Amino acid sequence: MGTYFPIFINLEGKKVQVFGGGKIAARRVAALLEFGAEVHVIAPEISGKLEELARQAENLTLERRPYLPGDLAAAELAIAATNDEGVNDMVYWECRREGVPVNVASDKEKCDFFFPGIAKEGDITVGVTAGGKDHRKAAQATAKIRELLKGRPWEG
């Protein structure tokens, strides 16, 4: 697997299809909402956290049902974050056919992109990844960058 190129994209109004209703899906959805994505979640079971996010965000819809082929019809980006490897694989292969970039949370080899640790302060946004290998190290680096941004050492 090669090294990933860091890229920042405008998600405002982009249609993102998320499969899965648990903790990982909720974390991904929260990040996507922060950047203005139009998020649609499909999962047989939806966590309380996702329910809470849906009450607070107009750009999040929840649909309680299993994945069905064709669910990516309008998606510009997809997240497969179910606890069923078979479903994640079906989503991955449908994304390949449809040309939709996908992140399969359980398999870094099937990710077109990673979700970085995000440090954001004002107009500054920093994304941190360890290439899907060392999440703890990436989280520690993100925390340090957040501290640095809050201190705003470049000002004054």
1-10, long-range: CB < 8 A, 24+ apart:
1/108, 1/109, 1/131, 3/131, 4/113, 4/114, 4/129, 4/131, 6/116, 6/127, 6/129, 7/113, 8/125, 8/127
DSSP element (H, E) containing 126: strand 124-128
- Beta carbons of 41 and 63 less than 8 angstroms apart: yes
pLDDT, tens digit (0-9, with 9 covering 90-100), for 8-43: 999 999 999 999 999 999 999 999 999 999 999 999
- List, in sequence order, the alpha helices (H) in 37-134: 48-56, 85-98
pLDDT of residue 43: 98
pLDDT of residue 35: 94
**Whole-structure pTM value:** 0.89
Percent of the chain with pLDDT over 90: 71
> Which two structure tokens, joined as six digits, stand for 95?
């994304």
